[in-house]
Amino acid sequence: MIILREITEWNECEYDVPNHDYLVDDNKEFLLAFRKEGKTEWEKFSKKRHFTRSRRRFKKLKEEVPTNFVEPFMADPWEKKEYNSLEMFM
């Protein structure tokens, strides 16, 4: 597994776009986990996700592959009292 840090410069955007760290397989095709910019915790996905590097720049980090992960945050629309359906995702 390889850890990549995104170093893309997002000059064309009117707002700040964070660059995260990504844990990918050796072929750099699948994303296994990621770490948000400025955080120390790695979020692991329940299954591999396709990873594309097009139009972005990365550098390889020389740090140990993480072994401790937190679950990715996903808002549950059923916990919100103001929603009675899945309107939040539509």
Q: What's residue 16's pLDDT?
A: 87
Q: pLDDT at residue 46 above 60?
A: yes
Q: What's residue 17's pLDDT?
A: 87
Give me the chain's average pLDDT, please.
83
Q: In what order do the strands lie in the sheet with 2-6?
A: 58-60, 2-6, 21-24, 30-35, 42-50, 69-70
Model-level pTM? 0.75
Reported as a pLDDT band with limits 50, 70 and 90, residue 74 is low
How much helix, strand and coil, in percent to the nearest 5, is found in the chain? Answer: 5, 30, 60
Q: What's residue 80's pLDDT?
A: 55
